[in-house]
Amino acid sequence: MQTHPGTIRSIKYEKIGTHEHNRFEKIHNVVFKKSSEASRLVAEEIADLIRRKNDKGERCVLGLATGSSPVSVYKELVRMHKEEGLSFKNVVTFNLDEYYPMNPGSIHSYHYFMNEHLFNHIDIPKGQVFIPDGKIAQDKLAEYCLAYEKKIAEYGGLDFQLLGIGRTGHIGFNEPGSHYNSITRSITLDQLTREDAATSFLGIENVPKKAITMGVSSVKNAKRIVLLAWGHKKSEIIKRTVEGEVSSSIPATYLQEHGNTTFVLDTEAASLLTRFESPWLVDAVDWTDDMTKRAVVWLCDKVKKSILKLTDKDYNESGLASLLAERGSSYELNIDMFNELQHTITGWPGGKPNADDTHRPERAVPEKKRVIIFSPHPDDDVISMGGTFDRLVEQGHEVHIAYQTSGNIAVSNADALKFAEVAMDFLPKEKIKTLGDVIKSINEKKENEIDALSVRQLKGFIRKRESIAATRFLKVPDKQVHFLNMPFYETGTVKKNPLSEKDIEIVKKLIAKVKPHQVYAAGDLADPHGTHKVCLDAVFHAMGALKSESYMKDCWLWLYRGAWHEWEIHEIDMTVPMSPDQVLRKRKAIFFHQSQKDGVMFQGEDLREFWVRAEDRNKKTAEHYRNLGLADYAAMEAFKRFEY
Ligand code: F6R
């Protein structure tokens, strides 16, 4: 078996690490801090290929993917076309797949996606674009698929195939079980794939059950393959694909046998690869404090012991002999690490007044701090840090809550209708005209249509009032609750506008007004297209721009994680424990966000309600601390301090 390619390396990546050879990895991969930078370099490789082919008077045959992963690559190709004159006249494209049945005009179709993101903006001749037709009659399907396959061969095969990867390990829509020799055909989508697509289809019931996809063999025949994966969500499948055995249960592992494949990853997607998760098993490492903390937590998890019970033998037998050699003995090292973790725990997230703060996560002075909690959607504050929020208020700090977006698209029509009709029942006749229009608009809305502005406004108000109910419950005065309604969010669809100066200005204005000592923000660093990442970027930009202001010298930035996953133990700088009663108070605060309960619009792959997710996550953190030998709490919220 060929384990990794020794052929072209046209990607001149300025990366964090390149796999050349380690005993765990079987696919060449490069890792970047930012997916935007990675996408730019992939686009450059494609552009180079197009130009080289053009210089030789040849056609360039590209295999293309849809989904969130390649969006920035397409954006960069469009930019190159517009600004640098990159021409696509010699390019022929074959898309990997299409839902079935699917009308090419639907906003959910891959035809629509490709036109939106690429074809409408470049000079590719229409006749050179091929995308499987989701409208083909069932009895013509087999014949159609064979013809698609034949067409690729007629054009001399694919010069370059761009891929994403599904969490099932699918490439194209080759779901688990797909054969190594499979060619273009119709398939049934895996349940997990349908759940992942549910958000953009506004509910899993709208996601088609079938698709047409190029086969594994069609993909593997490409001369060059680049697979993109961004974000934590992909880390598990990337590890299994790059380090596991070739198996039909993870079709992407077939790429281990392709001689010229590169996986282009961001740090989050790569985070479970052995060389990142436990780098000491791969190479000599520099035993910084951070690396040591990581190794000790990893060792505890591996041998299932608490820190103070680790022995020299445990270190030596688990590949940590070099750490032990550097630190002398496990005894001292264990105590150091125990203390490090112990010092992250505090019931005083705003600092403990009149206490020695040498080993506390926050400063004792000023005793009363001004705090801004930025919440991307109008419930992330309570879901992700409701317990800490409650303590900050209780301990007398001036807590401001800033809801960054209206969150309006996550309110169902049924909820909006309910509120409109309640208001209608209540209001005198002469005042109900607008409401009548709203109700009519909801009732007459067709599938694929976005909500009318008035409906969106109503939905935004519903979330606003729910938020205020929650902040009042946590005893924050209304004047300290800010609804920023950042404009990037207001498209009425899942796809948002890019962050603009206007968005940043709004955040800046609030910071300049409050002059906070602490800022809390949702730190989902590597979610390239998500609202949380855009909201975080706005905070970064705003704080960066205000850095020279004197009040900012005293301002610390704490990042919490969104609803889906928590910081790793070694990343945590502050953990705030909760008693069982505080857990219940947090649950109650989340309950005020009624439009997000009992079956939300954007359920995603996790079917638990938000309050359950939050409780499970906080309980897990507490259990992890307990397993490391620290105090046994009911739940814990975790934060990372960020230097901006
Ligand atoms: C899309 C396709 C799929 C996606 C995969 C990842 O044409 O073939 O294999 O690449 O589902 O999707 P995203 O990029 O949205 O995570």
pLDDT digits (tens, 9 = 90+) for 106-125: 989 999 999 999 999 999 99
Tell me the mean pLDDT in the region 341-353: 98
Are 185 and 72 within 8 A, CB to CB?
no
Coil, helix or strand at residue 629: coil
Lowest mean pLDDT segment, chosen from 9-13, 131-135, 308-312 = 9-13
As a whole number, mean pLDDT of residues 31-38 equals 92
495 confidence band (pLDDT: 50, 70, 90): confident
Mean pLDDT score, 611-624: 95
172 lines ligand 1 (CB under 6 A): yes
Q: Flag whether pLDDT at 9 surpasses 50.
A: no
Residue 529 is predicted with a pLDDT of 58
pLDDT of residue 15: 47
Q: Give 130-163 pLDDT, tens digit per residue.
A: 999 999 999 999 999 999 999 999 999 999 999 9
State how far the Cα of 275 lies from the Cα of 294, in Å rounded to an integer.
Answer: 13
pLDDT of residue 13: 47
- How much is the pLDDT for 387? 98
Task: Identify the residue whose C-alpha is closest to ligand 1 atom 8.
Answer: 172
Q: What is the pLDDT of residue 602?
A: 60
Helices (H), 268-412: 274-277, 289-303, 312-317, 321-327, 330-342, 380-394
Return the percentage of the chain with pLDDT > 70, whole number: 94
**Ligand 1 atom, smallest distance to 67 CA:** 15
Q: From atom 1 of ligand 1, which residue's Cα is the shortest distance away? A: 66
In the residue annotation, 175 being an active-site residue is answered as: yes
- Residue 311: pLDDT over 70: yes
Compute the average pLDDT of residues 625-644. 96
Q: Are 271 and 232 in contact (CB under 8 A)?
A: yes
Which helix or strand (DSSP H or E) is residue 520 part of? strand 518-522
- Measured in Å, residue 221 CA sits from the centre of ligand 1 at 19
Which pLDDT does position 154 carry in this prediction?
97
Give this prediction's pTM.
0.81
> Given ligand 1 and candidates 68, 69, 182, which is best to mutate, with the most ligand atoms within 8 Å of its CB?
69
User: Beta strands 398-403 and 129-130: pairing type?
Assistant: unpaired
Residue 170 beta carbon below 6 angstroms from any ligand 1 atom: yes
Shortest-distance atom of ligand 1 to CA 228: 14
Nearest-CA residue for atom 4 of ligand 1: 164
Residue 66 CB less than 6 A away from ligand 1: yes
For the chain, percent of residues with pLDDT exceeding 90: 83
Q: What angle do CA 198, 161, 253 make, to 5 degrees?
A: 70
Residue 508 has pLDDT above 70, yes or no: yes
Quote the strand ranges of 323-434, DSSP E.
370-375, 398-403
The CATH class for the domain spanning 28-275 reads alpha beta
Which residue has 């903006």 as its token pair? 121
Average pLDDT over residues 42-61: 97
Prior bond of 366 cis (ω within 30°): yes
Per-residue pLDDT, averaged over 500-513, amounts to 98
Task: Return the SS3 of 465.
Answer: helix
Contacts of residue 313, Cβ cutoff 8 Å, sequence gap at least 6? none
Domain ranges of the chain: 28-275, 278-342, 370-411+449-642
Assess whether the C-beta atom of 164 lies below 6 angstroms from ligand 1: yes
pLDDT value for 137 = 97
pLDDT in tens, 433-485: 888 888 999 999 876 688 999 999 999 999 999 999 999 999 999 999 999 99
Above 90 in pLDDT, residue 619?
yes
Of 45, 98, 175, 466, which is the active-site residue? 175
Contact 191, 222 (CB under 8 A): no
Condensed to tens digits (0 to 9), the pLDDT of residues 386-444 reads: 999 999 999 999 999 999 999 999 899 999 999 999 999 998 887 788 888 889 999 99
Question: Is residue 271 within 6 Å of ligand 1 at its C-beta?
Answer: no
Q: Position of tokens 């419950």?
A: 473
**Angstrom distance (rounded) from CA 463 to CA 595:** 7
Say how many Å lie between the CA of residue 628 and the centre of ligand 1. 38
Q: Which of 65-74, 75-84, 338-347, 607-616 bottoms out in mean pLDDT, i.e. has the lowest? A: 607-616
Query: 496, 596, 412: which is closest to 68 by C-alpha?
Result: 496
Query: Which atom of ligand 1 is least distant from the CA of 70?
Result: 14
| pLDDT at residue 605 in the model | 58
Q: H-helix or E-strand containing 527? A: none
pLDDT digits (tens, 9 = 90+) for 171-191: 999 999 999 999 999 999 999
For atom 9 of ligand 1, the residue with the nearest CA is: 172
For ligand 1, what atom is nearest to the CA of residue 171?
A: 9
Residue 522 neighbours by CB distance under 10 Å: 29
Give the residue with greater pLDDT, 122 vs 565: 122
pLDDT of residue 226: 97
Same fold? 28-275, 370-411+449-642: yes
pLDDT band at 19 (very low <50, low <70, confident <90, very high): low
What pLDDT is stored for residue 61 in this prediction? 98
Residues in the chain: 644
Give the pLDDT of residue 526. 57
Q: Which residue's alpha carbon is nearest to atom 11 within ligand 1?
A: 166
pLDDT at 3: 32
Contact 171 CB / ligand 1 (< 6 Å): yes
Ligand 1 center–CA 164 separation, angstroms: 5
Ligand 1 touching residue 65 (CB < 6 A):
yes
For domain 370-411+449-642, which CATH number applies: 3.90.1150.10, 3.40.50.10320, 3.40.720.10, 3.20.20.70? 3.40.50.10320
Q: Which of 4-13, 31-40, 246-255 has the lowest mean pLDDT?
A: 4-13
Round to whole Å and give the CA distance between 337 and 343. Answer: 10
Strands 225-229 and 160-163: parallel
Q: Report angle CA 634, 640, 644 to the nearest 5 degrees.
A: 160
> How confident is the model over 584-605, as a mean pLDDT?
83
**Mean pLDDT of the region 335-341:** 97
In terms of pLDDT, which residue wins out, 196 or 495? 196
Mean pLDDT of 56-82: 97
pLDDT of residue 10: 46
Note the pLDDT of residue 5: 33
Closest CA to 564 of 384, 375, 378: 384
In angstroms, what is the span from residue 203 Cα to ligand 1's centroid? 18
Could you give the dihedral angle defined by the CA atoms of residues 373, 379, 380 and 381, in that order, rounded to the nearest 10 degrees?
30
Are residues 539 and 525 in contact, defined by beta-carbon separation less than 8 angstroms?
A: no
Whether residue 67 has its Cβ less than 6 Å from ligand 1:
yes
Q: Which of 73-82, 406-415, 595-604, 622-631 has the lowest mean pLDDT?
A: 595-604
Ligand 1 center to 211 CA (angstroms): 12
Position 199 pLDDT exceeds 90: no
**Residue-level pLDDT at 30:** 94
pLDDT at 12: 45
pLDDT digits 0-9 by tens, 56-68: 999 999 999 999 9
